[in-house]
Structure 1
Amino acid sequence: MKDTPGWASPGSTPSDGQDAGRQDTPQPTDQSGADQTQPPSNWSKEQPPPAQWSNPSPQGPGQAPPPPQPTPGWGGHSGGPYPGPGGYGPPGAYGAPGGHPGHGAPGWGGGWGGPPPAAKPGVIPLRPLGVGEILDGAVSTMRTHWRTVLGISLTVAVVTQIAVILLQGFVLNDAANADVLNDPTATPGELSRALGETLLSTSAVLVISLLGTIIATALLTTVTSRAVLGKKVTTGEAWRDARPQLLRLGGLTLLLPLIAVVVMTVGILPGILLVAGGAEGAGVVLAVFGGLGGFVLTVWLVIRFSLASPALMLEKQGVRKSMGRSVKLVRGSWWRVLGIQLLAAIIAYVVASIVVIPFAVLGTALDGEGFSGLLTGGTELGWTYLVISGVGSVIGSTITFPISAGVTVLLYIDQRIRREALDLELARAAGVQDYGGNASTATPGS
């Protein structure tokens, strides 16, 4: 074989620089002629030892030579392009200072410490959310945009509570009905009339509170959706955006309790019919089991339709289509949605109770007969009690409205991120550059 420059492998002996103490290996003779003259070699006689060759690189005059390459292995590195025991690549790659391109954060160095954080233009990171992140996002929305959020909640709560106080003080504060209900000698006609009037007054208060909840939910849905993008929104902008959907939202809000009432009625109606027919024992048992079955079905339907409100407001859908969207988003995550909604309801109830109960106790102590009237069964509500307890209700509603609405909206967004990759659209809307190829989809909890 002709020994031309470039054929010798790294570490082999060049053709014309053999060591003096090494025995020559007989070479095969060329069949074309043994006396043929070999071409002169341009290889240097002094070659580096095996496995230490480096790529040639031009150096200017006065330039320092490059540092020696590290010895292959896992440890003992300092300063070369390969990281030490905690990394897996050169700078700019995974495990080295500079991180993964596009994340703008340190890389995965220091062992398996988890992926880089996802983009967070607003109150939540753009990836599937954990339970704590949903709750924190609702609180962060209230804290970051407190002027708009508390302004909406306070206005709605004040108007609603004033209407309730006036209704209770002038129209519904009838102690006669309560006296009839507590009178064991009252006739069935008197009892039914008193019960009907009491239910009517209670329903009137619930309708007013429901209207306030509808308006607050509509406005706070818009605020929370903008907060996810890191954008501010004024109360006027929120009102202009939510106003076209208010009637539909009102219809949806009234339809869901109506469905629950119908389901419960269907569940207990057979037992009531049996009791009316004379089979009291069987009727009571059937009514109890029917009521339990109706309650379970009601909870199942309420959770399936729990995301219909943000779907209606943010997607500009009708009532029926928004309910269908909610069913699609909740499918496969029913227990998770139930747990988060139940946790949010418990938190809101506890917060409201902490605020309202002291005001109610104070109002009872300062009003009319005070605690003695409460203990003796006095039911007439004085203006002092109504006003003081109303102030507590306003403060409680101002705090709980943003929590309830925020958790529902963020849960809706989380389900869409998990099922429809909504984070890509949100990132584009928020102006996040190069999002999608490098975005992390890790979820810290569920």
Structure 2
Amino acid sequence: MNDTPGWASPGSAPSDGHEPGTSDPADQQGRQSDGQGVKWSKDQPPAGQWSAPTGAQVPGQAQPPSTGQGWGGTPPTGPAGGWGAGQGGYGGPGGPGPYGGGWGSGWGGPPPAAKPGVIPLRPLGVGEILDGAVSTMRTHWRTVLGISLTVAVVTQVVVILLQGLVLDDASRTMDLDDPNASSQEVFRAMGNALLGLGAVSLIALIGTVVATALLTTVTSRAVLGKPVTTGEAWRDARPQLPKLFGLILLLLAIVFGLVLIGAVPGIIVAVSGWGDAGAALIGLGCLAGAALALWLMIRFSLASPTLMLEKQGIGTSMRRSAKLVRGSWWRVFGIQLLATIIANLVSSLVVLPFSVIGALAADGGFVGLLDESSGLGWTFLIVSGIGSVIGSMITFPITAGVTVLLYVDQRIRREGLDLELARAAGVQGYGAEAGAGG
């Protein structure tokens, strides 16, 4: 672990088994044993005196002074690591352990975790993950908005030119609504429509991948409280971009492949002459394939930040993501879904007014826009494109930031990444306190 955005892989730190900071009771027994079992002290308390002390003097022991705090006074100082050790245990009065003054200091509760950047270095809640993504936008707004604006403008310019010069031929798709069109014309029109949709989707995918790669670097620096420029983000993300494209394309192929495989039995039945049964089976098969694809996509949803920050390959990143998500599928799914809904809702509120203005400013207004014999028009494409650029400036940072912070949260929970982050951020004494408290 270092202070660069490229976080090293955890090495021997497991994602399952014993969690960091825990110990095996058998190990504790072994540490207490000298080969002949645990030796009990010869001086034992008299029988029947196991209740809390009420001021009676026990023979052979000095009565500790009462402080009036906690449940009847400060516990006596014991060996290192005991309740009264004051060396990171759970009862050291005023000790430097992870929970401050311990039980004898008046139920003060744990101190706040170190927060060198946009999130505290501990397991995160849903609100803290969303707030961390927004705080990254607010703290590093020049870099974040610069990246989002550049990618969104380039993407929308290409899409507008493609729609206005290549895909805006209304005669190519009018045959879909023509009842007198031949089957050959209908298939040609469907092919043109799918080709146009695929071209626009591919351009949007390229822009999303580039923005995600750059914003992943920015968010990783924001966690450490370190600034990063657009040039630094580009230099760090550029070597991993081909792998990130390969990862995204592989995940898309998995989704479409599963849906297609689910539809194959229904297609076979429909071709055999059972049209209605085949159509119903196609629908059920597509739903089953989509459900399986969704389950896999959540398992692999942390592969992108793993690939970018750990500098891993495609296959290794997917396995790491599945390991980090194991046992937390519903939590990861819920946070990703909530972030997507919020980002798309905010984006829609921005894009919709521009689309209305573009439709009103276009030739013929709404009526002309709904007329399939005419194209969309440059006015509508440009005005609505401006709204799409502004919407992308909001959605890119939120979705990328939430994914990166989810990755950080899962590694903190499973692999103790907060210790590495604290050292990289220069937090003094964080590892020593955590180790004493464990």
TM category, shorter: 0.7 to 0.9
Q: Does structure 2 retain, via aligned residues, the 8 Å contact 1:356–1:393?
A: yes
Alignment deviations for residues 391-429 of structure 1 (CA, whole Å, 9 cap, x no partner) = 000000011100000000000111111111111111111
Q: How many residues align?
A: 368
Residue among 414, 429, 433 paired with 2:428: 433
Matched, 1:161 2:156: yes
Residue among 410, 416, 420 paired with 1:415: 410
What is the distance in 2 between the residues matched to 1:379 and 1:308?
44
Cα 1:91–1:254 change in 2 (3 A) is: closer
430-439 or 214-223, larger mean C-alpha shift: 430-439
Residue 217 of structure 2: aligned partner: 222
Matched, 1:131 2:126: yes
What TM-score do the two structures reach when normalised by structure 1? 0.76
What is the distance in 2 between the residues matched to 1:318 and 1:93?
40
What is the distance in 2 between the residues matched to 1:104 and 1:316?
36
Matched, 1:212 2:227: no
Residue 185 of structure 1: aligned partner: 180
The root-mean-square deviation of aligned C-alpha atoms, in Å, is 3.1
Residue among 134, 145, 168 paired with 1:173: 168
Q: CA deviation at 1:436?
A: 2.8
Query: Which amino acid letter does the alignment assign opposite residue 427 of structure 2?
Result: V
Larger Rg: 1
Residue among 337, 345, 361 paired with 1:366: 361
Matched, 1:339 2:330: no
Q: Does structure 2 retain, via aligned residues, the 8 Å contact 1:102–1:434?
A: no
Cα 1:103–1:315 change in 2 (3 A) is: same
Query: Which amino acid letter does the alignment assign opposite residue 396 of structure 1?
Result: G
SS in 2 for 1:436: helix
Alignment deviations for residues 229-273 of structure 1 (CA, whole Å, 9 cap, x no partner) = 111111111111000001000111111111100000000111011
Residue among 285, 293, 297 paired with 1:290: 285
Q: CA deviation at 1:176?
A: 0.7
What is the distance in 1 between the residues matched to 2:415 and 2:180?
64
Query: Which amino acid letter does the alignment assign opposite residue 302 of structure 1?
Result: M
Q: Is there any run of 5+ residues in structure 1 with no aligned partner, and where?
A: 1-49, 52-69, 83-87
Q: CA deviation at 1:74?
A: 3.2
Query: Which amino acid letter does the alignment assign opposite residue 249 of structure 2?
Result: L
281-290 or 139-148, larger mean C-alpha shift: 281-290
Matched, 1:74 2:68: yes
Query: Which amino acid letter does the alignment assign opposite residue 387 of structure 1?
Result: I
Alignment deviations for residues 18-73 of structure 1 (CA, whole Å, 9 cap, x no partner) = xxxxxxxxxxxxxxxxxxxxxxxxxxxxxxxx99xxxxxxxxxxxxxxxxxx9847
Alignment deviations for residues 97-147 of structure 1 (CA, whole Å, 9 cap, x no partner) = x95427798888985453111111111111111111110110011100111
- Structure with more contact order per residue of length (Cα contacts < 8 Å, sep ≥ 6): 2
Cα 1:93–1:289 change in 2 (3 A) is: closer
Residue 393 of structure 2: aligned partner: 398
Residue 349 of structure 2: aligned partner: 354
Q: Does structure 2 retain, via aligned residues, the 8 Å contact 1:99–1:108?
A: no
Q: Does structure 1 retain, via aligned residues, the 8 Å contact 2:86–2:97?
A: no
What is the distance in 1 between the residues matched to 2:275 and 2:330?
37
**Structural mapping, 1:174-323, within 5 Å:** 174-323=169-318
SS in 2 for 1:433: coil
Q: Does structure 1 retain, via aligned residues, the 8 Å contact 2:119–2:223?
A: yes
Cα 1:427–1:178 change in 2 (3 A) is: same
What TM-score do the two structures reach when normalised by structure 2? 0.77
What is the distance in 2 between the residues matched to 1:93 and 1:428?
19
SS in 1 for 2:375: coil
What is the distance in 2 between the residues matched to 1:205 and 1:383?
17
Q: Does structure 1 retain, via aligned residues, the 8 Å contact 2:171–2:373?
A: no
What is the distance in 2 between the residues matched to 1:247 and 1:95?
50
Q: CA deviation at 1:189?
A: 0.4
Q: Percent identity?
A: 65
Query: Which amino acid letter does the alignment assign opposite residue 176 of structure 1?
Result: S
Residue 384 of structure 2: aligned partner: 389
Q: CA deviation at 1:375?
A: 4.6
Q: CA deviation at 1:282?
A: 2.5
What is the distance in 1 between the residues matched to 2:391 and 2:67?
64
Q: Does structure 2 retain, via aligned residues, the 8 Å contact 1:108–1:115?
A: no
SS in 2 for 1:126: coil
What is the distance in 2 between the residues matched to 1:111 and 1:73?
11
Q: Does structure 2 retain, via aligned residues, the 8 Å contact 1:161–1:394?
A: yes
